Amino acid sequence: MKRFYYFINKAFQNLRHFFLINLITVGIISLSLLVLSTFFMVFLNLQTYLNKLRDQIQVSVYLADGNTPEDISLIQKKINSFPQVKKLSLITKEEALSFFKDSFPGQRKALENLKDNPLPASLDIQLQDEYRGSEKVKIFARQIKNIPGVEDVEYGQTWIEGYANFLKFMRSAALAVGVVILLATIFIISNTIKLTLFARKDEIEIMKLVGATNFFIRVPFFIEGILQGLLGAFFALMVLFFSYQLFSNWIGQSSYFSLKFFKIFFLPFHHLLLITAVGMITGLLGSFFSLGRYLKYE
Amino acid sequence: MIQMLHVYKNYSPKYPALSDISLNIEKGEFVFIFGPSGAGKTTLLKLIFGAEHPSKGQIIVNGMNFGRFKKSTLPLLRRKMGFVFQDFKLLNHRTVFDNVGLALEVVGIKKTEIKRRVLKVLKHVGLSSRINTVPLVLSGGEQQRVAIARAIVNEPALLLADEPTGNLDAELTKEIMKLFKIINAWGTTIVIATHDKNLLNFNPTKVVALEHGKIKGVFVTGRKGAEETATRNGSIN
Ligand SMILES: Nc1ncnc2c1ncn2[C@@H]1O[C@H](COP(=O)(O)OP(=O)(O)OP(=O)(O)O)[C@@H](O)[C@H]1O
Ligand SMILES: [Mg+2]
């Protein structure tokens, strides 16, 4: 325990003693982690945004004009019996018309001159989460269309397929980019630490000459590496947070972008922990691998 | 204390730094390795210290065979040795106190004890007033004395010194040799490498003459001058 206290003390002493070189190391670690966490944040936001879009998918079932109210409630019952259906709401011809009028106030005059209401009654279906895949929606739509009294089914066919492909592409692209950035981060951090160790190889050599064990030399360097990673992560996340604040303020005031149902969010807590852990672990591994060569038996 | 049996050291295959060195140094002896520049003195000390490895032959230090033991025991062996390096090997940005204390710190000795012992040894080498100075601004002779202080602060069983008076004037040389004599009287075995003939006159002592990597002879010198007692290429017994 006393040994441990000594090692911690020594690590802090070294951080102070090699202040400039440590500052540079922490700066580089910060930059690497900033890139990594920015990527994380953009990806998470984009994914959440796209998922929200998907949640808005609904299937519209247009009913033939000849249906009596009894027919319609029969159709409703039939559709409700499908496991895919989460929520079903009926929009009568009259509702459809007034909805249309509200949406296109310029056309109101023209509509008032009409004898008959040209808009069909429809059923809006919200799907259960697990049936929102493009193939599944397609199958479901086909089944619904076969119900007598249903004239047409619409679900944004082309859009949903494009979306599914895009999401698939984005996931693999994000994975690839994420892995590359992570590897680059580890590479940069361990090389930076290697450089700082090079500046201290005399110290390591002399410690060995006066009888220090490898363990004794290593531990303070490991602690130092972990502290560098921790500090690097801290600064990176601070910068990210303030940039996020600035950006979301700007978005909020901007008239070009209005994401009505979506608010950009900061990295959730467990991701902050993850970034910090990446910093600390790469700091440790960086020290570990770069020390190896200076501690070889001569 | 030190046994070497038919030891060879080649840094490059063509030009051997040491060849067929056999010698035996007893516990408590005071020995000079004497020879011109390039004779192989530093190499010999480094072999004893485990900082270089023989190309051939056996080296046994303090009962441990360098060829046999595990790597991890080398630090433990070194704690019983002190080494004054020809180029000092000081940490130039640490204070004199830290430099000397390092040899105790790596053993895990308590701070208060380190302080006590470092202050004592710095007094011995006459550097009490330079405790908080960094070696960078010290004179060559002062740096040399810091190196000596670091080598003796852990009261080693074996002290190896490579030209320990190379940067000192006659007066300081006398002081340092006196110090070595005191340490020797405590029971520490001392091996000093030098090319300075004058040094040999300070003590009645054994001298191993080295030339071109070979032992030319072993002498015992006294205040009255040198007299040869051992044979060429022989060992001290
Ligand atoms: N690391 C090395 N690599 C290659 N050759 C070396 C190395 N160290 C020493 N030598 C060679 O080995 C020979 C002996 O060198 P050493 O340093 O032992 O001599 P020395 O007696 O200590 O000389 P000096 O009095 O100048 O310090 C020299 O010819 C030197 O060039
Ligand atoms: Mg030499």
Does the structure show a pLDDT above 90 at A57?
Answer: no
Does the structure show a pLDDT above 50 at B227?
Answer: no
Q: CB pairs below 8 Å between A and B: how many?
A: 48
pLDDT digits (tens, 9 = 90+) for A81-108: 888 888 888 888 888 888 877 777 777 6
Q: Give me ligand 1 centre to Cα A112, in Å.
A: 109
Q: Is B55 in the pocket of ligand 1 (CB under 6 A)?
A: no
Q: Which residue has 């019996």 as its token pair? A: A81
Mean pLDDT rounded to a whole number for chain B: 87
Alpha-carbon span A201 to A207, nearest angstrom: 10
Q: Which of A202, A210, A298 sits opposite B150 (nearest CB)?
A: A210
A203 → chain B, closest CA residue: B91
Of B49, B52, B82, the residue nearest B64 (C-alpha) = B49
pLDDT digits (tens, 9 = 90+) for B49-91: 988 889 999 999 988 887 776 777 888 889 999 999 988 999 9
Beta bridge partners of A23: none
pLDDT digits (tens, 9 = 90+) for B82-120: 999 988 999 988 899 999 999 999 888 989 999 999 999
Q: Which of A203, A209, A297 sits opposite B83 (nearest CB)?
A: A209
Q: Is B39 in the pocket of ligand 1 (CB under 6 A)?
A: yes
Of B8, B9, B11, B32, the one to substitute when testing ligand 1's pocket (max ligand atoms within 8 A of C-beta) is B11
Q: Is B42 in the pocket of ligand 1 (CB under 6 A)?
A: yes
Alpha-carbon span A26 to B44, nearest angstrom: 44
| Alpha carbon distances (Å) from A29 to A135, A178, A275, B185 | 45, 16, 11, 55
pTM score of the predicted model? 0.70
A109-113, A235-239, A278-282, B165-169, range with the lowest pLDDT = A109-113
Alpha-carbon span A80 to A72, nearest angstrom: 12
Beta bridge partners of B31: B191, B206
The domain limits of chain B are 90-155
Residue owning the nearest CA to atom 30 of ligand 1 = B38
What was the ipTM of the complex prediction?
A: 0.84
For each of the domains in chain A, give its residue range(s) and CATH number, in order of start: 2-53+161-297 (no CATH), 58-155 (3.30.70.3040)
pLDDT score, position B152: 94
The 3-state DSSP composition of chain B as helix, strand, coil percent (nearest 5) reads 35, 30, 40
Tell me if B106 and A203 make a contact (CB, 8 A cut-off). Answer: no
